[in-house]
Chain A
Amino acid sequence: MFRSLMLVGLFFLCLSSRGQYPGYTEMKNTESFKKSFIQSTATTESLQADFIQEKTMTMLSEKMVSSGKFCFRKKDRLRMEYLQPYTYLLILNDGKIYVKDGQKENKISAGSNPVFRQVNRILIDCVSGNMLDNPDFQYRIFENAGSWLIEFKPMAKNLKELYKNINIVLDKKDFTATAIGMYDATGDKTVIRFQNKELNAQIPDSQFNIP
């Protein structure tokens, strides 16, 4: 009886140690990845893409799906424009946040709403490649044939209350983000998938202007 229990326990231990990402295995030696990643992101000046956002909530049986256009330009300019099924514009530029919701607009200074600012910062760090240097997170790297998955666990108390982990999936071809997943502490998740990516396109300043 005791031996049977031990075997069952060992079986579940083996299952959990394989990680929670089917098809991915955890990388033990991450140094070569980090080196290549830093080299690749150093040559990335801009990224624009279409995005599809899926929000999955434990209280809803359906996913909430929205889509729009995404632009990033070094060093820290980001524009996310939601076009379907509602319009919403978010611009981050030089530490300032601008939000336009229909006809109403809101400028958020660097000092106000620190959590919201931190979350937006994460988005920039994810696409710019700075996330590995962010002391607010611990990370593990997984891989499969076509992509890397980096799992970030928040260390800061205010982020821990909101997020269990934030995952980025990178394309092995060009190190660009294919998806960013934000897993809430409550079990809900938001996944942003990027499509039709264009690297180093000329994105005019006007796209990031905060009026």
Chain B
Amino acid sequence: MPRSLIRSLIFLSGVMWFGSCNSYRHMQKSQPRENCVLQFKPEFYRVIYKTSADVKKIHISGLLIIKKMSDNSTRILFTNEMGFPFFDFGFGADSGFTVYQITPDMNKKYLIKTLRKDFELILFRNMDSTSSYTLKDSQLVYHAYPQTGGGINYYVTDIPCRHLVKMQRASEKKPVVEASFPGNIYGNEPDSILIRHLNFNFTISLKKITGLAAE
């Protein structure tokens, strides 16, 4: 193979690699529109989701309860269908995170950190308006909220801000988690939630169930 062709291929692959490494490079930065995103913020007063999580070939299912407490904190508790508890997390009213309970099998620092960040994304937490900015392409607006521990949470809407299309947790260059509320939303309480990790095979899907709670 001629040396020039090899050089061209290396250059081309370099360009492609560079381009593929930054998913947000082609977008234009614009003024933040804070009120746009906040109208989509979910309100979880007390909701129970039938939940399944798939990690590679492992499938876990159970019930995930999200409840807003009287002190405005949010508790997220996951048990299996038989009542066996997996974890119980607390998210403070403004900040803060507490692990109330976690099964020994799941008590791994990286797993807790991953789940915490996933839930923070769908709970619309850590939205500091002073550091936020907006990116725009031809169809979508990416409302960016840099996170204190690194990374950026994006809330992606259509341009007129009528719909929340998706949520992303991203590194500086590309999304690592994508989440959405694919079903109906009643009173800002989504009936379905999907969280999909893009850098490894891990998906969490939640579907609201009724008729489970009784006085």
Contact = CB atoms under 8 A, between A and B. Distances in A.
Interface of A: 53, 55, 57, 59-66, 80, 82, 84-86, 88, 90, 99, 101-102, 104-106, 113-116, 119, 158, 161-162, 182, 184-186, 188, 190
| Chain B residues touching A, majority SS | strand
Interface of B: 46, 48, 50, 52, 54, 58-61, 63, 65, 67, 69, 75, 77, 79-85, 88, 100-101, 103-105, 209-215
A55 B103 contact: no
Given A57-B77, A86-B50, A101-B61, A188 B85 contact: yes
Given A57-B77, A186-B100, A106 B59 contact: yes
B83 A53 contact: yes
Contacts, number: 93
Nearest to A88: B81
Given A59-B67, A65-B212, A99 B61 contact: yes
A122 B63 CA distance: 21
Nearest to A161: B104
B104 A63 contact: no
Given A101-B59, A104-B52, A106-B58, A62 B83 contact: no
A55 B64 CA distance: 13
A64 B48 contact: yes
Q: Nearest 7 CB-CB pairs, A to B?
A: A190-B83, A101-B61, A62-B213, A85-B211, A88-B81, A106-B59, A55-B83
A186 B85 contact: yes
Contacts of A190: 82-84
Contacts of B103: 115, 162
A180 to B, nearest CB: 10
Given A64-B212, A115-B103, 10 more contacts: A53-B82, A57-B77, A63-B214, A64-B214, A66-B81, A80-B82, A88-B81, A99-B61, A116-B84, A186-B88
A162 B52 contact: no
A101 B82 CA distance: 12
Given A104-B52, A115-B103, A59 B77 contact: yes
A153 to B, nearest CB: 18
B82 to A, nearest CB: 7
B65 A63 contact: no
Contacts of B85: 162, 184, 186, 188
A90 B210 CA distance: 22
Given A115-B103, A186-B88, A88 B61 contact: yes
A185 to B, nearest CB: 8
Contacts of A80: 82
Nearest to A101: B61
A84 B63 contact: no
Contacts of A64: 48, 63, 212-214
B210 A60 contact: no
